[in-house]
Amino acid sequence: MTMDYTKCAREIYETLGGRSNLVSAAHCATRLRLVTVDNSKIDMKKLENVDGVKGVFSNNGQLQLIIGTGTVNKVYEEFLKVSGMTAATKEEVKAAAAAGQPVFKRMIKALGDVFVPILPAIVASGLMMGLVEALGKAFPSFAGSDWYGILDLLANTAFTFLPVLIAISSARVFGGNIFLGAVIGMIMIHPNLINAWTVGSMEAADIPVWHLFGFPIRQVGYQGHVIPVVIAVWLMCKIEKWLHKHVPEMIDLFVTPLCTVLLTAFVTLGLIGPVFSMAENYVLDFAGWIITVGNGVGAMLMGALYPFTVVCGIHHMYNVIEAGMLSAAEGLNIWMPIASAANFAQGAACLAVGLKAKNLKTKSVAIPSSLSAALGITEPAIFGVNLRYMKPLICGAAGGAAGALLGAMFHIGATSYGVTGIPGFLITLDYTVQYAIVLAVAFAVAFGLTWFVWKEEVEERDTNAGTETEKGEEKTASGEKALFAPVKGNVISREEIPDETFASGVLGDGVGIEPEAGEVVAPFDGVISTVTDTRHALGITGPGGMEVLIHVGVDTVNMKGEGFELFVSEGEEVKAGQKLIAFDIQKIKEAGYSTTTAVLLTNRDDYPDFKILKKGKTDTMEKLFEI
């Protein structure tokens, strides 16, 4: 059944509180992105039930409506006509969204932007540390071997040089030269400075001091510190930008970097480091107090509140706390059990909805989202299901509170951060049984409460439209049709795609491909239904009405087309194996994005016999799906 784009756009507009409540609108390959004045004026329930809208969530000040490839651009065109608005670029929408956010929210977002790109390195190191430690305990002879020594070195490198990783990421976020940022990070942990972990065991009089301009600068490093590094690089970027504007071009190349590093280094070692490292210690002490106050009552409250901080988009601030805890003398992350219990509980609540719901759309979103949450990625479960129905969110909060209370009572400590849920067992080896109890209790409370409290609302349109739609689906799906691999590489499950929207299945079912060659070919004879301005994604319609989204990389829309070449246009007929897109794998990696390419059947619900036939290594044009 063809979607009525005008009707969809009009119904969306009618929920938004009028033209005066809209600031700007844009779209990407799959989502309509809106910035509004006041979200409280929006009829969210009605918006979520608009025919054609597959999901709604708010992120970074933007209201994002998941509509799907091949349709979002058409709905967007009609939305502009209905609303009387003019088109805006995604960058303009982002700028409008950021400008409307409070200063505190912008600061939290900046911290999130700094930490999210380095999480893979931290997670990899943390899991490796857990594995090495487990092997050492299981086989005592291994603990003294050369293999243990080198694996231990590889595992703790990311934590040893954490300030350098943070400095590079901060420079990227604040718009500075990432290599100058790296230099500032390295200065702060230079081997000529006394290691920060050693200072605690020294008398203050024994710490060497430089006396410059009558001002004492302690010769102390900042290993393991977070806040001083971020502040220092933020200052560096401000200085660098100012110098670029005021220094003549002919001497800018060497004057600006020299002055930037010198000024930033002196201010960092003399002021930013001492002041903000002390402030960071107070923050950590306060966080530790919250967890332990009232014999775990504080931890229980944080376990309940944690998912609401995810909804507000400020949960990345916990990375700062966790990184600081790992750098302290004890070296244990006692915040992790709170986050893990909260995340696992939200997954349990989401699973209860998925198992209890009769609506196929709800099931198709809830069940995979719950599995994602069990692995530590909760956004699909929270935004796609629990927040929408609210009761599961509250029941999940209750489960998180119960689990967090136990975690505090058991004094569980992790050896890394960025890992929760089931993978968390690898970083809580000394507390395996206790950690299992925490997850079991969080799951049981959240699942049980949701099962008994949440009731599915029966909507008229689901019952009225059912019979004819099902008949149409049977006709569409009749006969054996197939999709062949459009990219050469390693095929992974949809849930493993490192993007919550793709992984949750809300845009359809399929796989991810980790490419070995930078080329996308047509997976069947079909018609190009949509292409993006940034050339990183396209939609193609094929046999039996299959609608397929091919999206190269994650968040590669931010590359603005750099590194991508498009060989087809919208409406063009293509043959199986025909070259569609060329892309530069190395450029994507250098820009800090995953190259994983999503291949999704966006109208999966039309095909009850849909099968994924391929996992692991594949060449182009090997059979991937069958309907």
User: What are the phi and psi torsion angles at 98 (to 5°)?
Assistant: -65, -40
- Amino acid occupying residue 64: Q
Q: Which residues, in sequence order, are CB contacts of 585 under 8 Å at separation 6+?
A: 515, 517, 518, 595
Q: Length of the chain in residues, anyone?
A: 627
Tokens of 208: 């060497």
**Other CB atoms within 10 A of residue 524 CB:** 22
Tokens 């996308």 correspond to 520
Q: Strand order in 22-27's β-sheet? A: 22-27, 31-36, 62-66, 55-59
Active-site choice (225, 315, 316, 551)? 551
Active-site choice (8, 27, 28, 350)? 28
Alpha helices in 61-115 (DSSP H): 72-83, 90-99, 103-115
- Amino acid occupying residue 512: G
Q: Are 119 and 112 in contact (CB under 8 A)?
A: no
Q: Strand order in 611-612's β-sheet? A: 482-484, 623-626, 611-612
**Nearest of 71, 79, 60, 84 to residue 28 by alpha carbon:** 71
Q: Which residues pair with 217 in a beta bridge?
A: 210
Tokens of 82: 């209905």
Task: Tell me how far apart the alpha carbons of residues 318 and 309 are, in angstroms, rounded to a whole number.
Answer: 10
Q: Are 315 and 306 in contact (CB under 8 A)?
A: yes
Task: Tell me how far apart the alpha carbons of residues 184 and 269 are, in angstroms, rounded to a whole number.
Answer: 10
Q: Which residues, in sequence order, are CB contacts of 560 under 8 Å at separation 6+?
A: 534
Q: Give yes or no: 237 in active site.
A: no
Q: Are 126 and 418 in contact (CB under 8 A)?
A: yes
- Amino acid occupying residue 620: T
Task: Tell me how far apart the alpha carbons of residues 182 and 333 are, in angstroms, rounded to a whole number.
Answer: 26
Task: Tell me how far apart the alpha carbons of residues 403 and 444 are, in angstroms, rounded to a whole number.
Answer: 10
Task: Tell me how far apart the alpha carbons of residues 298 and 374 are, in angstroms, rounded to a whole number.
Answer: 24
Sign of CA dihedral 376, 379, 384, 390: positive
Q: Which residues pair with 548 in a beta bridge?
A: 540, 601
Q: Give yes or no: 28 in active site.
A: yes
Tokens of 411: 């004094």
Determine the Cα angle at 87 with ends 81 and 90, to 5°.
140
Q: Are 53 and 7 in contact (CB under 8 A)?
A: no
In 499-566, beta strands by DSSP E = 509-515, 519-521, 526-531, 537-541, 547-551, 564-566
Catalytic positions, written as ranges = 28, 551
